[in-house]
Amino acid sequence: MAFAKALGATEMQAGKFPDYILNLAKGYGKVADPPEAANVPRRQVMQSKVDVPGAKAVKMRYGPYKVKGVKAMGKANPMGDMHGMLENYPDTDFPRPCEGDCTIIGMRAGLEYPDGKDANVDTGLMLHHSVTVLIGPGRSDPTCSGFEISIPHAGTNTTAHTSERIFASGNERVPVVFADMGAKDSGYKLRAEDKLGTLIDLANMNADDKTLYYTMVWDYIEGHGLQNDVSMAWNDIRNCGSSEANPPEKQTKFTLDNTWTSTVDAEIIGGFGHLHDGGVSCTLTVDGAKACDSKASYGSKPGYTSMPHDMNMGPHAIRFQAPKVRAEKENENVKMDRRAKRETRVAHMPPVKRISDMSLCAGDAMLVKQLKKGQVWKIDAVYDFDVNGGMKGDDGLWEKVMGINYVYFKKPAA
C-alpha cells in the first residue's frame, strides 16, 4: 500500500499505480484479435438456466491477452516472484453484459484459446485469478472502504470509495448464481452510469507465449424488478492488499489468518473460498463460532490434471510439486547440463491433480445467517503440501499463496 501511495494513490484516486502495472506488462497484455478468433463472436447470446422470471444470459469474451511463455522470461517481475505470467493486469475497457438499468443474477468465469477451446492446466495454462469491480456513483467496497488505499481497486484505476468488488475467480472457476444460493429475489442492480473493470492474472507454463480470452457468462434481467440489492464482504489473509503471502519457511503444513470487523447489517446469501494448490480449506468464524468451511477439491473435473512432462520447465518456470514425489536420483557420473537434468527430473513426475473446486457455503452450509455491525469475522486458510502439492519456483522455494472467502449478502433496495 505504501508503494501505491508513493505513486499518488489516495482515498479518492489511483494515481499512477495502474500505469506502473501496465508498464510491467509492456509488450504483453491486451492485444488485437488473432485470425483464429474470426469465427468466434465476442458476445454470444445464450439460454439462461437461472430460475428467475425474465432471466437472460450472455457469454462475453474479453481480451485477448498475450501471456509470456517460459522462453520469454528474464528477471523476476518486481511485483512478485512468479513467472510465465501476465500478473494482475488491469483492464478498464470491460464491456457490460447489459445496458441501461439491469440486474446481474449470475456470474461464471472461463479461459479460452482464440478458437474457443477451453484453456486449462492440462495444456499448461491457468486462470490464476480475476477480480471484477463495479464502478459508479455511490458505490463503495464493504471491506476496503475503511482503508485509505486498496490495492485491487487502485489497480483498476478506481478506489474502494467509488467502486466495489462483485466477483472473483481462481482457476477452479466457481459459479456465482444467487438463485442457486436461495436468493431469487436479489442481484447487483446496475445503473446506466455504472462501469466494470477487472484485474486479470494468467499463468503460462508452456515454452512459447500464448494469446487467450477471458470469458464471463452473465445471467441478468432487464430493469430493477428484484426486491434486494447484493453486495460482497471480501475476507482475505491480506485484506485490501495483494491477497498473497509467503508460506512459513520450512513448513509444509500451516494456517494463514486475518480478521475483519463488520460495518454492515444484512442478510447473508452465501459464499465460498479461494486457495492456491496445496490448500485444504478456507474457514470463516464469526465471534468465534464457525460460519463457513469451504473445502478444496482436486482433479474433480476434466482439464484439471497437469502433465509436467508436456510443459517447458525452463529456468524461470513454476514447478508443480506433486505430494511426496521426488525425482529419481541421477547418476552423478553422468555429466548433463542444467536443462537436461531439469528435464530428467520432470520426466519422472507423474500427472498432478490441480485444485478444481471449492465447496459452497449456502443454506444449511452457511451457519451464520446475519451480518451485523461489530461482528469479528476471522478467516483461516489451511494448507498441507504433503497432501496436495503446492507451487514451487525453480529455486525450490514455495510460491506465494492466497486465502480468500467471498460472502455475498442482500439488503432491501434503497
pLDDT tens figures, 193-241: 999 999 999 999 888 999 999 999 999 999 999 999 999 999 999 999 9
Do residues 140 and 164 make contact, with C-beta atoms less than 8 angstroms apart?
yes
pLDDT value of residue 394: 64
Please state the pTM of the whole predicted model.
Answer: 0.90
- Which tens digit of pLDDT belongs to each residue from 344-379? 444 445 788 999 999 999 999 999 999 999 999 999
134 vs 319: CA distance, rounded Å: 35
The predicted pLDDT at position 327 comes to 39
For position 79, what pLDDT does the model report? 35
pLDDT for the residue 70: 81
φ, ψ dihedrals at 12, nearest 5°: -115, 0
Task: Name the band, by pLDDT with cuts 50, 70 and 90, for residue 167.
Answer: very high
Give tens-digit pLDDT for 289-303.
999 999 999 999 999
The type of residue at 81 is D
Q: Give me the torsion for CA of 279, 284, 287, 291, rounded to 10°.
A: -140
At residue 100, the pLDDT reads 98
Contact criterion met (CB below 8 Å) for 86 and 80: no
**pLDDT band for position 331 (50/70/90)?**
very low
**What mean pLDDT do residues 307-314 have?**
49
Range of the domain at 289: 2-412
pLDDT tens-digit series, residues 121-157: 999 999 999 999 999 999 999 999 999 999 999 999 9
Percentage of residues of the chain with pLDDT beyond 70: 87
Is the pLDDT at 326 greater than 80? The verdict is no
Average pLDDT, the chain: 89
pLDDT at residue 80, rounded to an integer: 37
Average pLDDT over every residue of 168-176: 98
Q: What 3 state SS string does the chain have?
A: CHHHHHCCCCCCCCCCHHHHHHHHCCCCEECCCCHHHCCCCCEEEECCCCCCCCCEEEEEEEEEEEECCHHHCCCCCCCCCCCCEEEEEEECCCCCCCCCCEEEEEEEEEEECCCCCECCHHHCEEEEEEEEEEECCCCCCCCHHHCCCCHHHHHCCCCCCCEEEEEEECCCCCCEEHHHHCCCCEEEEECCCCEEEEEEEEEECCCCCEEEEEEEEEEEEECCCCCEEEEEEEEECCCCCCCEECCCCCCCEEEEEEEEECCCCEEEEEEEEEECCCEEEEEEEECCEEEEEEEEEECCCCCCEECHHHCCCCCCCCEECCCCCCCCCCCCCCCCCHHHHHHHHHHCCCCEECEEEECEEEHHHCCCCEECCCCEEEEEEEEECCCCCCEECCCCCECCEEEEEEEEEEEECC
Binning pLDDT at 50, 70 and 90, where does residue 82 land? very low
Task: State how far Cα 345 lies from the chain centre.
Answer: 30
Our count of domains for the chain comes to 1
